[in-house]
């Protein structure tokens, strides 16, 4: 048991992830190096040319969620595994029919369709009966990913543009929880009952977020992913280093809020 070594390993893992932001958000030339390394590994591990073609992305590295695995390629090359990339046309009682007309017998279908990130599953109503679904009908927005104008005392952990495409989301949650506690302490000390982010502060923050994301691989990478809404706006990803988010969330910026007793 060596705590110092554990801390060093943790730090090295953290900073190795942080450096990926240069490739994904800033799109430095290092992204070409990373992409070539990934393709080189694919070519080395996958011997079958047809399978290799199916597994080679047509978009930039990072545009969709990056799969980190040490046994994915070996699994796909097992004798009892077959990768089929044609779209499903029909599901029958004991088979799946793909668009090219092939019929594949099946015992079990696992419907792995990804994440629903563009709708809030719980109906929430704010000032004057305004619903969160209505306010987010065009696109999801929040101030620092957790608070929304016209919805007093509402926290949304891991809300819009506070998830990650390059590091651990636990880092973001820790910063958000600290910020939420700061708000609650401030309300308690000052005998306040409600808080709500000012509209112009919220709007200015989101303009900055989108100005960063519009230059990122998540917007320009050539794919459509669950990071985006139907219009292609990136609504889920935080586009900067996580330490910058921690600095933003370090103290409660009470001057940017409407506070009432």
Retrieve residue 76's tokens: 């796909």
> Would residue 122 count as lying in a domain?
no
Same domain (yes/no): 65, 92: no
* CATH code, 170: 3.50.50.60
Pairwise CA distance, residues 28 & 157, whole Å: 30
Shared domain for 135 and 255, answered yes or no, is yes
Nearest to 78 by CA among 56, 54, 47: 47
Domain of 106?
A: 85-113
Q: Distance (Å, rounded) from C-alpha 257 to C-alpha 89?
A: 52
Residues 139 and 159 in one domain: yes
Question: Do 109 and 134 belong to one domain?
Answer: no
**Structure confidence at residue 253 (pLDDT):** 97
pLDDT tens sequence across 165-203:
999 999 999 999 999 999 999 999 999 999 999 999 999
Distance, CA of 253 to chain centre:
25
What total of structural domains would you count in the chain? 3
How many helices and strands (H and E) does the chain possess? 10, 5
Residues 221 and 154 in one domain: yes
Q: Count Cβ atoms below 10 Å from residue 243 Cβ, excluding itself.
A: 13
d(CA 97, CA 89): 6
Residue 154, pLDDT score: 97
Predicted pLDDT of residue 56? 95
| 171 lies in the same domain as 70 | no
The pairing of strands 194-197 and 88-91 is unpaired
Structure-block tokens of residue 8? 């060093």
Contacts of 136 (CB under 8 A, 6+ apart): 120
Q: Tell me, yes or no, whether 139 and 216 share the same domain.
A: yes
User: Phi then psi for 158, rounded to 5 degrees?
Assistant: 55, 40
Same domain, 141 and 254: yes
What is the pLDDT at residue 103?
96
Do both 134 and 206 map to the same domain? yes
Question: Same structural domain for residues 75 and 93?
Answer: no
How confident is the model at residue 158, as a pLDDT? 95
Given a contact cutoff of 8 angstroms between Cβ atoms, the answer to whether 64 and 223 are in contact is yes
Query: Is residue 118 domain-resident?
Result: no
Q: DSSP string covering 125-156, please?
A: B-GGG-BHHHHTSS----BTTTB-TT-TT---
Are 132 and 228 in the same domain?
A: yes
Render each residue's pLDDT in the chain as its tens digit; 261 residues.
788 999 999 999 999 999 989 999 987 788 888 899 999 999 999 999 999 999 999 999 999 999 889 999 999 999 999 999 999 999 999 999 999 999 999 999 998 877 788 887 789 999 999 999 999 999 999 999 999 999 999 999 999 999 999 999 999 999 999 999 999 999 999 999 999 999 999 999 999 999 999 999 999 999 999 999 999 999 999 999 999 999 999 999 999 999 999
∠ CA 215-218-224, rounded to 5°: 130
49 and 21 part of one domain? yes
59: which residues sit within 8 A by CB, 6+ positions away?
A: 221, 222, 223
What local confidence, expressed as pLDDT, does residue 112 receive? 84
3-state SS, residue 161: coil
Q: Tell me if residue 34 falls in helix, strand or coil.
A: helix
What length is written for the chain? 261
């Amino acid at each position: 048991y060596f705590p110092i070594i554990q801390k060093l390993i943790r730090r090295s893992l953290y900073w190795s992830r942080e450096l990926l932001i240069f490739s994904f958000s800033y799109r430095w030339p290092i992204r070409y190096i990373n992409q070539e390394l990934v393709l080189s590994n694919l070519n080395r591990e996958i011997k079958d040319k047809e399978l290799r073609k199916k597994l080679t992305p047509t978009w930039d590295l990072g545009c969709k969620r990056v799969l980190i695995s040490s046994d994915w390629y070996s699994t796909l090359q097992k004798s009892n595994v077959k990768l089929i990339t044609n779209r499903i046309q029909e599901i029958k009682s004991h088979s799946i029919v793909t668009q090219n007309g092939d019929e594949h017998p099946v015992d079990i279908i696992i419907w792995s369709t990804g994440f629903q990130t563009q709708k809030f599953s719980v109906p929430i109503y704010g000032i004057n009966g305004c619903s969160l679904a209505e306010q987010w009908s065009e696109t999801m927005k929040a101030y620092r990913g957790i608070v929304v104008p016209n919805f007093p005392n509402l926290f949304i952990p891991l809300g819009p543009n506070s998830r990650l495409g390059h590091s651990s989301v636990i880092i973001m949650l820790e910063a958000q929880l600290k910020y939420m506690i700061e708000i609650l302490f401030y309300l308690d000390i000052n005998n306040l009952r409600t808080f709500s982010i000012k509209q112009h502060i919220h709007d200015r923050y989101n303009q900055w977020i989108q100005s960063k994301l519009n230059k990122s691989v998540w917007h320009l990478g050539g794919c459509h992913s669950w990071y985006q809404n139907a219009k292609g706006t990136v609504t889920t990803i935080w586009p900067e280093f996580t330490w910058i988010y921690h600095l933003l969330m370090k103290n409660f910026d009470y001057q940017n809020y409407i506070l009432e007793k």
